[in-house]
Amino acid sequence: MIARLVLAAAVLVAGAAVLLGAHRELPDWYVRAVPAWYARAVYPLEHELAIRGAARRNGVDPALIAAVIYAESGFREGAVSESGAVGLMQLLPSTATEIARRTGGDRFELSDLRDPAVNIRYGSHYLGILLERYDGSLVEAVAAYHAGVHNVDRWAARGGGRIAVKDIPFADTREYVDDVVALVTVYERTYGRELGRAA
């Protein structure tokens, strides 16, 4: 009987994931209910050492880095978007070039973005800049990662200085922020030890 209940729960969770398009609009109940074995199957984690190192260097939660990688590329190293964003963290060449300039990467070439360690290092650096810019606001930093700082600054100015997810006028950015925030919890619970968060 217990085995049947566990199997039924797994089927329900799997069905929910399919209906939600893998990682779109993860509801709170799903994040809390998904068993660790299933989360490991659906939400991969690779390049843990690079993530941990970049997190430490940039003062960014490693679960946030993993969540952004999953939302951006699904951990596909060769991912390239229609807008030209490259690699695991889907960095635009212009953003990466600016990060290289600021961090002393004088031998940086755009092809370096295909290297997971470089991509994670630069993407995490950018997340750190955004978190600092928005006083640690996860919602604003993640929204800016997706839609750009100019949009987030404009939305914040309109809303009196701060934005919540519901204040984001772009539906795709609103969904992206919801997803990443939920995925942070999934990665914390599922991969805490690998990400250096568990004792």
| 141-186 per-position pLDDT tens digit | 999 999 999 999 999 998 778 899 999 999 999 999 999 999 999 9
| Helix then strand then coil, % of the chain, to nearest 5 | 65, 0, 30
Q: In this prediction, what percent of the chain has a pLDDT beyond 90?
A: 70
What is the model's pLDDT at position 160?
79
The average pLDDT across 92-98 equals: 93
What is the model's pLDDT at position 20?
43
Q: What is the 3-state secondary structure (H, E, C) of 129-178?
A: HHHHHCCCCHHHHHHHHHHCHHHHHHHHHHCCCCCCHHHCCCHHHHHHHH
What is the model's pLDDT at position 138?
97
What's the pTM? 0.84
Rounded CA gap, 153 and 168, in Å?
Answer: 11
Rounded CA gap, 156 and 168, in Å?
Answer: 9
Is the pLDDT at 195 greater than 90? The verdict is yes
Is the pLDDT at 19 greater than 80? The verdict is no
Give bridge partners of residue 88 from the DSSP assignment. none
The average pLDDT across 42-47 equals: 96
Least confident of 18-22, 118-122, 140-144: 18-22
Q: Identify which of 38, 44, 40 has the alpha carbon closest to the alpha carbon of residue 12.
A: 38
What is the model's pLDDT at position 2?
57
Annotated active-site residue in 72, 140, 175, 188: 72
Rounded CA gap, 14 and 34, in Å?
Answer: 9
What is the model's pLDDT at position 119?
96
Average pLDDT of the chain, as a whole number? 87
72 noted as active-site residue: yes
